[in-house]
A and B are shown apart, each in its own frame.
Chain A
Amino acid sequence: MDEGRPLFIQIAEMVENSIIDGGLAEESQVPSTNELAAFHRINPATAGKGLAKLVADGILYKKRGIGMFVTTGARDALRFRRRDDFADQFIRPLVTEARKLGVTVDELKSMLDNWEEAP
């Protein structure tokens, strides 16, 4: 686990990642609090807090006595939200490092234009 950020947020993000990449389909059941706790070797209360956050955000919903399920539409909602964060998480460090090396924004743009993903 990444030190520093609250563990329950990291747990919530891991579940979100599985929803975004399709590992957890909409309307499928997500792992229980105890399963998450045992797998990640963390306190069950922390895992439960992570799931509770996703319920509060509308990403998961509870079926009483059965467990938690992925809400229909959760995948698009998460992608949309992650795009908002994209600039902060990725563009900002990119521009900071570029500036440090004396790379201008125009040069960065042309690097991106000519960027081909490795096969």
Chain B
Amino acid sequence: MNARHDLTVVDDTPVIASVRNLTKTYGDFTAVDGVDFDLHADKIYGLLGRNGAGKTTVMQLLTAQNRQSAGTVEVFGMPPFENGAVSADVCFVKESQKYPDDFKVRHVLTCAARLLPHWDQAFADDLVRDFDLPPSRKVKKLSRGMTSALGIVIGLASRAPLTFFDEPYLGLDAVARHMFYDRLLADYAENPRTIVLSTHLIDEVSDLIEHVLLIDKGRIVIDADADDLRHSAFVISGAADAVEKFVAGHTVLHRESLGSMARVSIDAALTDAQRAHASSLGLAAEPLSLQQLVIRNTTAYGRGASLTSDHATKESVS
């Protein structure tokens, strides 16, 4: 049981995009606030965060849909803005994408095929069948779920070396979402590329993503390997005095109590021996899921900054 978690892999895959001190302001509102991160080749990223955290703005800046107020953006070694060489290798599937009014599904697909040099028509045809898209229907007559499915077909069949999906499944039911995950994984295995999935459905994608970027109020608060995060924080629950004794010295992320019972989240990777010790004290030590970890690291309504990770908010108990 010992020494199992030390298989740390050095990240030696090439960087294909990087942002430094990236900032975007709208009037006196700062949407993206001095952000630094890299995207590596052939990885699936989860870009997570609450509504309004700045996820879409970051993707717009990386895909030249928008210009930064300060800082630098490089994609495939070049600034992406008005750069045809970069945009040929990038596909951005927007939430609620709009298409010209009288376009039919097949017109949209024909345009995508012409604009995206890595496009795979046979794969696109398969996906259109899988998602039951009617090729001759006008896009504006599609249901919300079907419009989302059309975006997914384009994003997958684009085979773009850098593909962004921004909340790609509004209106899609669970069956269609799982079809998306399955087709994504199967195609990614055959044709590795960098994929950035921005989503609220963290539990659904937590096993698919290799790396997590969590953004809160325009800042990156987590930039880490998804598997490392999986055991990086624990919830200790049981009799309050035993819980407090056990968590002493650890950084507390969250604390709840009910009568003589307490539940405390700590920002610490417990060893098997420590977990065994907790259980011998009659305490339950459960790891935080990615979803819970995101909740504990983002700003909640009405709680001010008391739960963010970058201020003096991780109260230390000693």
Contact = CB atoms under 8 A, between A and B. Distances in A.
Contact of A41 (B1, B185, B210, B228): B185
A43 B286 CA distance: 23
Main secondary structure of the interface of B (DSSP, over half): mixed
B182 A3 contact: no
B186 A38 contact: yes
B208 interface: yes
Interface string A68-104: 0000000000000000010011001100100010000
Contacts, number: 82
B209 A7 contact: no
A44 B189 CA distance: 7
Interface residues of B, number: 33
Contacts of B52: none
B207 interface: yes
Main secondary structure of the interface of A (DSSP, over half): helix
B188 interface: yes
A79 to B, nearest CB: 15
A9 B289 contact: no
B102 interface: no
Contacts of B231: 4-6
A96 B280 contact: yes
B68 to A, nearest CB: 30
Interface stretch (B2-10, B251-259, B301-309): B2-10
Contacts of A44: 185, 188-189
A88 B272 contact: yes
Interface string A40-68: 11111110010011001000000000000
Interface string B274-290: 00100110100011110
A43 B230 contact: no
Contacts of B282: 96, 100
B287 A5 contact: yes
Interface in B232-278: 234, 272, 276
A38 B126 CA distance: 18
B310 interface: no
18 contacts: A3-B286, A3-B287, A4-B231, A4-B234, A5-B287, A6-B5, A8-B7, A34-B190, A37-B189, A38-B185, A41-B181, A42-B207, A43-B44, A43-B207, A43-B226, A89-B1, A92-B279, A93-B279
